[in-house]
């Protein structure tokens, strides 16, 4: 089974239709997220899939640059708390890494299903937490905006350029090394 196609096709696109997603489809996305690996299998992620009456309040937490996301029928809040973490003796916290793995799993499933899943950090975390009733000991780390492909005419010029521009990736030799730091791949 080859998933390289989904990895290559996954883009953080912004043109999203307001058309609702099916419950079964949302459940598959959440299930994909929960199948991600995690340190000691602690599974520190907590996912709040917002599609209903809390959606307007969550949309109010978005920054001006992410107003495009207000059309999305689904926003997933990824959260965790310190007691769910797999902290090493050296003080390295893994929960945020584990949340990233869960997010990527969700985004790959969305890509497989022809959906757009765009992770964002541009939101007010206090407003977002309040909007979804997150307990005080939890932190909302990321939002994933999910929907079907939508109308690009609602995007700003700079957003359209990013939607249609060449995908920017650093050369493997800039980010990967063979055996030691001084030997680029």
Q: What residue ranges define each of the domains in the chain, with the CATH number in brackets?
A: 4-175 (3.40.109.10)
Q: What Cα–Cα distance (Å) separates residue 120 from each residue in 23, 63, 160? A: 23, 10, 17
Q: What is the residue-averaged pLDDT of the chain?
A: 91
Q: What is the pLDDT of residues 106-148, one digit of tens each?
A: 999 999 999 999 999 999 999 999 999 999 999 999 999 999 9
Average pLDDT over residues 13-31: 94
Q: How far apart are CA 26 and CA 146, in angstroms?
A: 9
Instruction: Quickly state the pLDDT bin for 88 (edges 50, 70, 90).
Output: confident
Average pLDDT over residues 81-105: 88
Q: Do 90 and 160 touch, CB atoms closer than 8 A?
A: no
Instruction: Quickly state the pLDDT bin for 50 (edges 50, 70, 90).
Output: very high
| Per-residue model confidence (pLDDT) at position 93 | 84
């Amino acid at each position: 089974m080859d998933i390289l196609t989904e990895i290559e096709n996954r883009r953080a696109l912004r043109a999203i239709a307001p058309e609702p997603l099916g419950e079964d489809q949302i459940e598959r996305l959440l299930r994909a997220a929960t199948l991600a690996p995690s340190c000691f299998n602690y599974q520190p992620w907590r996912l709040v899939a917002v599609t209903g009456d809390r959606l307007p309040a969550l949309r109010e937490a978005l920054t001006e640059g992410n107003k495009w996301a207000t059309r999305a029928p689904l926003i997933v809040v990824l959260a965790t708390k310190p007691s769910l973490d797999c902290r090493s003796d050296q003080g390295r916290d893994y929960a945020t890494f584990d949340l990233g793995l869960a997010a990527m799993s969700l985004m790959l499933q969305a890509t497989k299903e022809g959906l757009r899943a765009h992770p964002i950090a541009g939101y007010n975390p206090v407003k977002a937490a309040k909007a979804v009733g997150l307990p005080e000991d939890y932190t909302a780390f990321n939002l994933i905006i999910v929907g079907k492909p939508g109308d690009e005419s609602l995007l700003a010029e700079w957003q359209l350029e990013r939607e249609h521009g060449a995908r920017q990736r650093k050369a493997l030799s800039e980010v990967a090394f063979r055996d030691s730091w001084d030997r680029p791949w």
